[in-house]
Structure 1
Amino acid sequence: MDQGNTAWILLTAALVLLMTPGLAFFYGGLVKAKSVISMMMMSFGAIGLIAVLWVIFGYAIAFPSTAPGTINLPWVIDWNEIGLQSLLTIPDGAAYPPLAYVGFQATFAIITVALVSGAIADRARFGAWMLFAGLWATIVYFPVASWVFNFGLNPSTGSFTYGGWLTYGMQTWFGQGLIDFAGGTAVHINAGAAGLALAIVLGRRLGFQKGASVPHNPPFVLLGAGLLWFGWFGFNAGSELAADGTAAVAWINTLAAPAAALLAWLIVEKIKDGKPTSVGAASGAVAGLVAITPACAALTPIWAIVLGLVTGAVCAIAIELKYKWGFDDSLDVVGIHLVGGLIGTLYIGFFANNVGLFMGGGWTQLMVQAIAALAVMIYSFVLAWIIGFVIEKTMGFRVKNEDEVAGIDTAVHGEEGYILADTKA
């Protein structure tokens, strides 16, 4: 067992877990002052619920161990992995303990579910959110993670031996599998599509219009973005599962692309609105992080910068679509994660080293990337809409109008985010 790489995996897993509290600050600063606890609790609730589900059965769905030559189509479960009991023993010759990888992938599941919550800020009931989170993770995220991340490699030949239909399946059918190093499809397109579905199900906030709701705490937004960026180095470089040259490429691209996206967002903001904002800087960095996630090991640093510039500019414009099309994506999950994830995933088909259309390859890789992006987007949107619709029509997903006006922190959690003076006599 390689203790160095084992330490790398465990360390980067801890960095990825930190991203969810970072997301809580990022989202918490963007909402109303009277919704900050509700918003942050949806992220922390995801940590508690998804971690437990992952140990019990999530990993068994996402990473079933199957026979060589098997393509795992939409939904498979490995009953031997329930509760992780079969993974406690370290196999002879293993590079790292199986549980190290289990833990690393658990943090991906947690942050993906938490991302969805930003689309329904200021108006969602906590209990309904937790029910949705558990069902969506089980029916959507765990299977999609299997499509993208579950691939068996023959250690002697480096070739696929089994795996999800977007990786091993595409490799078998077209000669090239999906390139998604750290989750542009499974995490960001997946969460963005689900966020759009939920925003439609819950409807618009009261008084929804441009400028009606402004971030109550930009310093929280910057703090959250900083924690996300810090954790994202574990997200991307850690996905190599080894401290090697590929991890170093992923690391430097995770620095370069978000930095370029931050600058591009600020330039668009300056041209469009006359002033660059702190929230714009934070949002641009996150958009760049989203886009580089699938491509971080497939691009040279210069092409990573170009990707960042394109993504920052496009996403800065894309967040305005909710006003034009009338869906209330509260914190721009669609404009940043869905759009950014699509850009990053498709960009690989054009500029990935050796296989991109403009880098010596043909159309095949672009076709594979497009099929994967479309499949995940449709699957996630449809099932998220169905789950959200059933919850809304049964137990109710949205808070009462009077609670939304008064602020849902006290109505849902019985707490206030800010008590500036002691009101007791």
Structure 2
Amino acid sequence: MKLTIYYNHLKRQGFELLEDIGSGLSGKTRKARQPSLERFVAVKFFDSVFNKNNHELRKKFKREAFILAEVQHPSIPYVLTHGEVVEGNNIVPYTVMEYIDGSNLDEYLHKNGSIDQSQVIGIASQILEALVLVHSKGIIHRDIKPSNIMLSKPGNAYLIDFSIGFAPSGNPNFTRATRTGDHLGSAEYMSPEQNNDMKSVDERSDIYSLGLVLCKLLTGSPSILELDKNERSIPFTLKKVITKACEYKVADRYSNAVEFLRELRVLSATRQSISTSPSHALCNNLKCPSAYWSPNGFYKGANFMEECTDIHCTACGNKLIYQCSCGFPIANTPFCGGCGGELFRIPECEKCGSYLKKADIGKNTSDGCSKCKSVQPLPQQSVWGQQSPKAPTQINIDDDIPF
């Protein structure tokens, strides 16, 4: 009876329901055909017999369609439409979205046993590129795990199931629908802070979960301890990247998906397979040869690079900064335009206030810098019969450098 009602309703909307292709906390997902465009779609229903009266979960389910509409990306299934099926006294919400012809990573591992390291990096990179967009919209997924990553037959990766995600952006369709103390999500892949209180997490929680997914793909277990076993033959650089993503303390992890992606990018044999958009970068090394130096050798500002994709400065090897810790992109300024935080400082002599040369940078200049100490006194001028006044100071003027 239920399927007949579903079929007739979707038929009027232009879709022909076919077989079940999955199930989850909310209910069934069914494959359907859209005759008008001769393509397949997926229809996700909120019809779980266990949760159909769960109003909080229903709210999350309906909000997912708005989140998907907000984050259009090649690695996120697009949403076509949403609606409700009336089944007696019961109203069943549904969402029609892109159909992915493939399997989730749990199914793939069960069938194939393991995934090649280069393929793992490729999958992670695609998901991270999706997260760059997702997080830029203020959306946190909160349930990244192998079963929520689809792998199509051509090898493209998709991040699915945003049903417990949230976007505190002010959009009324993105209301949080999460109470303090809620513990939705998958315990194996949940960050420590989400396990404590999922209402107060940020994008670094998703980074933690994705790091454990990579552990699972490489070792068969979502544990960073498995990475160190000799039989795994996992390169030290790859273990280092994953370990940082999975740090227990939030502040010790990658601050955002862009930073995580750039680290993975250097591990890829073919950079073209991981497309990181060129952007503005800053090297804040005070002794960088490519910093802004005056003609007389005084440090006047940091080294900025346009349309950069490198991880480290090619002039000094210092790690480049692409975003402030608040997430605002770098510009040619000493202070962040988003939060006002200091991005770099021009050091000055504590005694005379002058800019410093490379030899003085990092030293205690309370007694003066090399410029102070190079000042020569003017010859004393005496007047007959009077005491000679104190000799004035001879200032070596350095054009654009303040003394």
* TM bracket (short chain): under 0.3
The structure with the greater share of residues assigned to helix is 1
Normalising to structure 2: TM-score of the pair?
0.24
Name which structure has the greater RCO, CA cutoff 8 Å, separation 6+. Answer: 1
Select the structure that is richer in strand.
2
Max Rg structure: 2
